[in-house]
Amino acid sequence: MNQMYQRASDFAEQAHQMQRRKITGEPYFSHPRNVAHLLRDAGFRDEVVAAGFLHDVVEDTPVTLDEIRADFGDEVAELVASHTEDKLQPWEARKSHTIEVVRTGTLEQKAIIVADKLDNLQSVKYALSSEGDRVWGYFKRDYEAQKWYNESIVGNMYEGLREDEIPKYFQKYAELCDWVFN
């Protein structure tokens, strides 16, 4: 394991230490760890994997983008920034912004978003098996809104990418989205 990987893992674990996943109740850090592992296993460079660990810290904890920049550099900070939602905006505006980033962003920006959404949807699939449609009550928006959001990510994630650069887990996300919502 390299130094940046370990530092980002430790930083994210510390930042999220008091948080739990809304569906499973497990420690929240399991999510950024899963995202980082998807990115690492797909062969992304260290800065992208680090951003995978850190993708939610600015959005969901008191950590600032300046702290990320100071500890991990401009590249990691910019990747985290491209994924960070402005919680002052309404849900629909935040999600539309993410869809636009996944449509127009770089492969690395897209990769972090899709890895994040894949891990989230895997939690939904798990919960559907035990809770059925009650699972949608965990979210700020209902099934139809979640369907719109996830299907919009799938509909835009390949934009501007060559076939040979698309990570395998993009297809896994598309298939899981189809399974959950159809």
**Residue 20, SS3 per DSSP:** strand
Residues annotated as catalytic (active site), given as ranges: 59-60
Contact 63, 57 (CB under 8 A): yes
User: In whole angstroms, what is the distance from residue 136 CA to residue 127 CA?
Assistant: 10
Contact 35, 53 (CB under 8 A): yes
Contact 73, 127 (CB under 8 A): no
Count of Cβ atoms closer than 10 Å to residue 35 Cβ = 29
Cα atoms found within 13 Å of the Cα of residue 151, Cβ hemisphere only: 11
The tokens describing 52, both together, are 């995978």
Q: What angle do CA 68, 69, 72 make, to 5 degrees?
A: 75
